[in-house]
Amino acid sequence: MKIIIVGGHGSIGRRVVDVLAKKHDIITASRSKGNVNVDLVDIESIRELYETVGDFDAVISIAGEAKWAPMKEMK
């Protein structure tokens, strides 16, 4: 399968890519890293992602910002 993974360079995304890349063709996408750049708040950027990649079988989105800290420091 050809799978687009948005956020494939983050803490969780890298691990998902490592596992799936053993059996699938992986295309990583993010704001600044990856095979293809995409800005998820810009619909035109998302269209360009799909046009650039062409045919694919699945999309996995693991994009997002996270703070890694003890629970008592979270707001």
pLDDT of residue 73: 86
CATH number at residue 40: 3.40.50.720
Residue-wise pLDDT for 35-52, tens only, equals 999 999 999 999 999 999
Residues of the chain with confidence (pLDDT) below 70 = none
Q: Which pTM does this prediction carry?
A: 0.82
One-letter identity of residue 66 = A
The structural domain count of the chain equals 1
Quote the domain boundaries for residue 13: 2-73
